Amino acid sequence: MYPLSLYIHIPFCLSKCAYCDFASYPGREGDWARYFGALWDEIDGWRPELGGYQVATAFFGGGTPTLVSAGYIAETLERCRAALPFAPDAEITIEGNPGTLSPEKLRAYRRAGIDRLSLGAQSFDDGLLRSLGRIHRAAQVGEAVRMARDAGFNNINLDLMYALPGQTMDQWRVALDAAVALGVEHLSAYSLIVEPGTPMAARVARGEAAVPDDDAVNAMQRLAVSRLADAGYARYEISNYAKPGFECRHNLVYWSRGEYLGLGCAAHSLLRETRFSNPASLEAYLSGERRLDVRRLTDAERMDETLMLATRTARGLDLVAWERDFGAPFAAGREGALRRLSDGGFIEINGGFLRLTLRGMEVQDAVVLELTEA
C-alpha cells in the first residue's frame, strides 16, 4: 500500500483575523450543511481512483474546523474511511481556536479517532490578540489545553506568532515561557507575514502599525530556538519544534514531497507528481468546480521543490537521494555557490546531507535562490 495524506479544508470562522489571507468565510453558518454535502460527494468521487493507497495522516485545517458541529467532522472522517483504508497508527489532526472548544466537542473528536489537536494560540497577550483580530483571550489557551487533556489528547500543538506590530522581546519571551509551562508536545513559531489585501497590510500602509525590522525578527527567532531547546523541544523545521517523537507527521509529508490529497474549498494536492487544486471561492466549490490548474511537474520543478522544501528541515537535503532521483550529483555545477555558502556559515555538508545552519535558516530563501541559480 502506498501512503497518502489527506488535507481537509473547513473554510468557516467566526471572524476574519487581521493578518489572514486564507480561504475562510465568517458568518456563513447557513452554508455548513451544503458545504459538507459537497465535501462528502467529493470524497466519494475519489474512491475509484485511490486503489493501492492507505491514509497515513489526515489534517482538518481552515478556517476554524472546531467552529462547526463535531458531527460534521466525525461524518467526514467516516466518509474518508469508506473511500480508502487508514493505517492503524494514522495521525489525525484538527486545528482549533481556543475560543470554540468545549469538553463535549473534544470528547467527540477523540471518539471519531482524532488524536492530535493544533491550537491557534498566537499570543499570550490580550492586547496583541485583539490587534490580530483573534476571538479568544490568553487565559482560554490554558483552559483549552486542560480540556483537551481531560478528553484524552496526548499530542497537542500550539501555534505562536512573532514579529507582530508593537510586540516587544519581553512579550515574545512571555509567550514562549507560557507555552512551555503548558507542557504541550509541539510548538510552531511563525513570523508574521503581512499579506497584501489584509486589514493588517492596510494598517501598515497607513502608518498605524509598524512591523519589526529584520534584526528584531531574527533576534526573536533565535530566542525561540534557544528557549525551546532548553525546554526539550528540538527544532526540526524552520518554524516547528517538538519533543522527541512528536514531530508532525502530516507536515513532514509536505516537506518531503510525499503524496497528499486536498479535499474541500481551496485545498491543494500532489498526487502522482501532478499538482492541482480546488477553487478558493466557496461559491465556486459549492457549484461543483474541482481539480483546477492541473499540472504534471517537470524534472526542473521537482528539483526546485525538493531543494526548497528539504532545506527548511533540520534533516536537510539528502544528497544520495538527489543523485538517484535526478541522475547527477547535487554539487555538479554548484561548486562555487556551495563553497561561498559554506565559507559564509550558511550551510554545512556532512553525512550525505546538506543542511542550513542557524544563520542559513534566517535567510533560507536567499540560500535556495543562490543554489538554484548556480
pLDDT digits (tens, 9 = 90+) for 106-128: 999 999 999 999 999 999 999 98
Kindly indicate the confidence band of residue 212, based on its pLDDT and cuts at 50, 70 and 90.
confident
pLDDT at 23 over 90: no
pLDDT bracket for residue 186 (50, 70, 90): very high
The C-alpha cell at 357 is: 545552519
Alpha-carbon span 266 to 249, nearest angstrom: 22
Stronger pLDDT, 129 or 326, i.e. the higher one: 326
| pLDDT, the chain, mean | 95
Name the residue among 245, 291, 240 with its Cα closest to residue 264.
291
Distance CA 159, CA 175 (A): 11
Is the pLDDT at 201 greater than 80? The verdict is no
Q: Report the percentage of the chain scoring pLDDT > 70.
A: 99
| pLDDT tens figures, 35-77 | 999 999 999 999 999 999 999 999 999 999 999 999 999 999 9
Q: What is the pLDDT of residues 293-336, one digit of tens each?
A: 999 999 999 999 999 999 999 999 999 999 999 999 999 999 99
pLDDT at position 25, please? 86
**What does DSSP say about strands 234-237 and 240-242: parallel, antiparallel, or unpaired?**
antiparallel
DSSP string, 154-213: --EEEEEEES-TT--HHHHHHHHHHHHHTT-SEEEEEE----TTSHHHHHHHTTS-----
Find out if CATH 1.50.10.10 is the number for domain 299-374: no
Q: What is the mean pLDDT of residues 185-192?
A: 96
Residue-wise pLDDT tens digits, 228-266: 999 999 999 999 999 999 999 999 999 999 999 999 999
Q: Residue 18: which pLDDT band, with cuts at 50, 70 and 90?
A: low
Share of the chain above pLDDT 90, in %: 84
pLDDT above 90: residue 208 = no
Sheet strands side by side (includes 347-350): 317-318, 353-356, 347-350
* The one-letter amino acid at 290: R
Q: Report domain extents, the chain.
A: 2-255, 299-374
For residue 364, pLDDT beyond 70: yes
Contacts of residue 132, Cβ cutoff 8 Å, sequence gap at least 6:
17, 18, 19, 122, 123, 161, 164, 200
- Fold for the domain defined by 2-255: TIM Barrel (3.20.20)
Contact 68, 32 (CB under 8 A): yes
DSSP state of 30: G
**Omega cis (within 30) before 197:** no
Q: Considering the entire predicted model, what is its pTM?
A: 0.95
- For residue 168, which of 105, 108, 125 has the smallest C-alpha distance? 125
Phi, psi of 166 (to 5 degrees): 85, -5
